[in-house]
Structure 1
Amino acid sequence: MEDKKQDVKSLEELLKAADEFRKWAVDFGNKLSKVLPDIEIPEEKEDTWEMKCPYEHGDTHYCIQPNGSVFADCWEGIESDNRYFSQGNVFPTEEAAELEAKRRNLLTRFRAFRDECNGDWKPDFTINSNKYFIEKRRGKIVVDYIWTVNSFILFGYFKNHEDAKRAIELFGDEIEELFVDCEAQ
């Protein structure tokens, strides 16, 4: 009988403690709900960079048409100006625009040749096999290879050494002219 009274007393004390804790939690929640709206949470700053436009209203600049021809334009800061600029299609000089148009044309033709040579093959840098690329070394454009590191090569990778050599034969002079020895930047 004594144990039963002790158990009832312990249960009553536990219920009393639980009730006090509930009251404290409700009180704390009420206080917190009053102060939360006044707390300003700083916005997280994104680690970004925004490209700044160097052109002002009335500045002359040059753009490349879809057919590759270059035209002069006057900066007005309108949507079409901003679209051309955000796509890297606004240049300070006619020479720079013409150089870029030729580069884009060469890169397009080169990619088509490379992709035709490679077929379905894509470089896999988790596999230790040669991936061939073109570089300039000691004054000459040559074929080199890499196994496991993607160096983000401008002209991409070839599956076969012979195809990379053929690319130099077909496009080497243009690569020299447009990417190595060019003056307009």
Structure 2
Amino acid sequence: MERVLARLPWRQPEVTVFGRRHPIPRRQCYLALPGCEYRYSGTLLTPEPLPREVADLMQWLNRQSQAGFNSVLANTYRDGGERMGWHRDNEPELGPSPPLAIVSFGARRRLRLRWTPKDSQAIELAPGSVLWLAPGVWHCLPASRRAQAPRTSLTFRRVIPGFYRSR
């Protein structure tokens, strides 16, 4: 799988946060079935085709869960300085109660989860691990001085096909 991930068309786009444009502190690639555009932080992502190995993994996850995943936001973190801030996956094209699964490759990293604004918990994501997230859970991947090697996460989502074409 690492060879497949290395060949993805990685980008480091800018996003809008509190009205200002910033490059994201990681590289990403959005993969999905045709018509499954995804928007976050003011950026509309048009999908790249799913490589066979990623599509096979998606089918396996769908058999385990009946989630109906049809898209993957891949993020790669070159070292512990790259990160993802607190967020929850609640974009309208994901529907009212979106399932989410994260599959990790590469270095171990700690993902933080929170259900209330003041309470968070860390979970270590090992290579090859799968984390199923309940809808609405806040999560982040903070910077880490301990993380020296790259990590890639594949975050599987179910996007409403054609959501942005009808708007």
TM-score normalised according to structure 2 size? 0.21
TM-score normalised according to structure 1 size? 0.20
Bigger share in strand:
2
Q: Which of 1 and 2 has greater Rg? A: 1
Which structure exhibits the higher relative contact order, with contacts defined as CA atoms closer than 8 Å and separated by 6 or more residues? 2
